[in-house]
Structure 1
Amino acid sequence: MASSTRSVAASFLRSQISRTASAAIVRHTPKRTFSSIIAPSRPTLLPKPNSLRPIIPFPTILSQRRSLFIQTEPTPNPDALKFIPGLPVLPPKSASIEYTDGRQTNNSPLARSLFQLDGVQSVLYGPDFITVTKTPDSHWQWLKPEVFALVTEYLNNGSPVVTGDVAESEDTAPKEGDSEVVSMIKELLDTRIRPAIQEDGGDIEYRGFTPEGQVLLKLRGACRTCDSSTVTLKNGIESMLMHYIEEVKGVTQVLDQEEEVAQREFEKFEANLAKLKGGDAVPKSSGPHGIDAAP
């Protein structure tokens, strides 16, 4: 009797233990299941702390890079081409910057890269354009894609075209001691003449006004080496200044010392070339109307 009682008690105790364990498993199973679902998903939803990859979708990056659209425009100078990126190239009120030698490009990585291309003669930075002038013996067919690729790649990076401080345009700024005539000349150059010259991929720099009535100007960019630079000075700038200001008697182009030496050497070269080709050849600057175009 006692043994049967103990058997019944042991059976009852085993059933209670089994029921309690089952309840514990049921109570804790949801927690284990919940944590097992959350844990694996964390690495896919959150970036790694030391990851260098941007959290920007690829289509967004692609659209930002394609937002820069550079246009090219011809200039009156067949050896100069104007590149318009659609954004400011220099800070507001800055003077245009011209590089005529690769050794002058210490403050412009872009200009230094452009001069490394075979055929680039000069680079001009305007307010919202870049003018590249090539040598007469090179061809835009091969040079233009290389210049376009360099300008596009550099401006896409968002880096400034010129490093360091950029000088403001002061040649036509009003100064103490300016006479009424000089003030009128500067105003015409700044408001009427300079914008027209920049449309052709060039620029001008006011150098002074002589007692004889001559306005001293320096041409830059596409206008500096253009065959029609004399026509630009006489028929364009000179005519407008003489029309509005009676004290102006003419316009004279000013060259730097290095440019004067280079021009004299080039004139000697053309004169010697004209002698070799015959007495009928007339020395002129290179271009479509130069000696090379003569029969």
Structure 2
Amino acid sequence: MKLTIKETQNPTILKFEFPDFITQNESFEYKNIDEAKNSPLAQQLFYLPFVKTVYISSNFIAIERFSIVDWNDVKDAVAEQIEDYIKTGGKIIIEDVLKPKKSAITVYGETTPNPATLKFVVSRRLTQTALEFKNIDETAPSPLAKELFQFPFVKEVFIDENYISVTKYDMATWEEITLEIRTFIKQFIENGGTVIDETIVIEDTKQDKQQIKNFDNLDTTSQQIINILEEYVKPAVAADGGNILFDSYDENEKRVKVILQGSCNGCPSSTFTLKNGIENMLKDMLNDKDIIVEALNA
């Protein structure tokens, strides 16, 4: 048996693909050796000092590394170790050990300033990466979002931290569909469904500027604007089921361009919030009365 090594969109995660399926319609994620009690192979992999997370699903094992090594230096050795383990009869998953129990959660709906969007809050963290889905074709990283788009009244889905913001078409009222969506989300997660597959999250150019690697290359004013948005604005819009991203700052026009996501996108009150909230805050904190804020997708 020979494994195929494949890169993912996340440079810290590498896939080791098998020629056949290794799980029975189940996916497993292990953050440490104690969580991997039903996977002797995952436990063995955690003895490697650079292994951060192990994912096992369908026909592959994906490993997220710490930054102490580069994959080019160790990937062949890891593949060989997995191959040797399988050749000697080692078990990947022991089905009757630590059989995952149905994990009870709570899900409740919260209204947002956008009448077309409802925020469904879950009693556990769902993702490390905020993701917005405008249609079903964008949902490769999120099986949950893909399933939500099967409902004819779902227009957009936004997932961040511990909530899912669902934007609907006018064909249905929230009174008619809230219970149906809430129940579906609750059962999907309780039954072990994947909300976000971190191994295939595609890097979003809209969020690149927020990252440290790009942040350091921006001008001082842009950095200040991002810091203000992150510290003062994002927590407030997140509470309403939305998100805001810095796009650009034009020093000549004193114009700040942002991108609105989730409930903020298309919200009737977003223009008021931009002008009377964010714009005034930036004028005050940057001590520049000429600052103008506009949303590219408002």
Which interval holds the TM-score relative to the shorter structure?
Answer: 0.5 to 0.7
SS at match of 1:78: coil
From 204, 225, 239, the counterpart of 1:185? 225
Q: Distance in 2 between matches of 1:158 and 1:239?
A: 45
- Checking the alignment, whether the CA contact within 8 Å between 2:141 and 2:200 is kept in structure 1 is no
Q: How do residues 19-98 of structure 1 correspond to structure 2 at under 5 angstroms?
A: 65=103, 67-91=104-128, 94=129, 96-98=130-132
- Checking the alignment, whether the CA contact within 8 Å between 2:109 and 2:178 is kept in structure 1 is no
From 234, 239, 252, the counterpart of 2:294? 252
Q: Distance in 2 between matches of 1:235 and 1:119?
A: 32
Q: How do residues 199-218 of structure 1 correspond to structure 2 at under 5 angstroms?
A: 199-211=239-251, 212-218=253-259
Report the CA distance between 1:162 and its aligned residue: 1.8
Q: Give 2:296's aligned amino acid.
A: V
Higher strand share: 2
Q: Distance in 2 between matches of 1:55 and 1:216?
A: 53
Report the CA distance between 1:107 and its aligned residue: 2.5
Structure 1, unpaired ranges of 5+: 1-51, 260-295
Moved more, 184-193 or 170-179: 170-179
RMSD of aligned C-alpha atoms? 2.6
Higher helix share: 1
- Checking the alignment, whether the CA contact within 8 Å between 1:172 and 1:189 is kept in structure 2 is no
Q: Distance in 2 between matches of 1:151 and 1:109?
A: 11
Report the CA distance between 1:146 and its aligned residue: 1.8
Q: Distance in 2 between matches of 1:155 and 1:77?
A: 26
Moved over 6 A (4+): 52-56
Q: Deviations over 1:93-112 (max 9, x none)?
A: x2x21111122222222111
Q: Distance in 2 between matches of 1:105 and 1:165?
A: 11
1:268 aligns with none
SS at match of 1:112: helix
Q: How do residues 1-295 of structure 1 correspond to structure 2 at under 5 angstroms?
A: 65=103, 67-91=104-128, 94=129, 96-163=130-197, 164-166=199-201, 167=203, 170-174=208-212, 175-211=215-251, 212-247=253-288, 249-255=291-297
Q: Deviations over 1:66-121 (max 9, x none)?
A: x3111211101111110111111112xx2x21111122222222111111112111
Q: Distance in 2 between matches of 1:205 and 1:128?
A: 19
Report the CA distance between 1:53 and its aligned residue: 10
Question: Under a length normalisation based on structure 1, what TM-score does the superposition of the two structures give?
Answer: 0.61
Moved more, 212-221 or 172-181: 172-181
- Checking the alignment, whether the CA contact within 8 Å between 1:173 and 1:186 is kept in structure 2 is no
1:267 aligns with none
- Checking the alignment, whether the CA contact within 8 Å between 2:133 and 2:158 is kept in structure 1 is yes
Percentage of identical aligned residues: 29
Q: Distance in 2 between matches of 1:142 and 1:118?
A: 13
Q: Distance in 2 between matches of 1:199 and 1:249?
A: 26
- Checking the alignment, whether the CA contact within 8 Å between 2:119 and 2:164 is kept in structure 1 is yes
Q: Distance in 2 between matches of 1:153 and 1:210?
A: 47
1:178–1:55 CA distance, 2 compared to 1 (3 A): closer
SS at match of 2:261: strand
Report the CA distance between 1:136 and its aligned residue: 2.3
Q: Deviations over 1:170-204 (max 9, x none)?
A: 43234233222112111101111111111111101
Q: Distance in 1 between matches of 2:160 and 2:287?
A: 31
Question: Under a length normalisation based on structure 2, what TM-score does the superposition of the two structures give?
Answer: 0.60
Larger of the two Rg values belongs to structure: 1
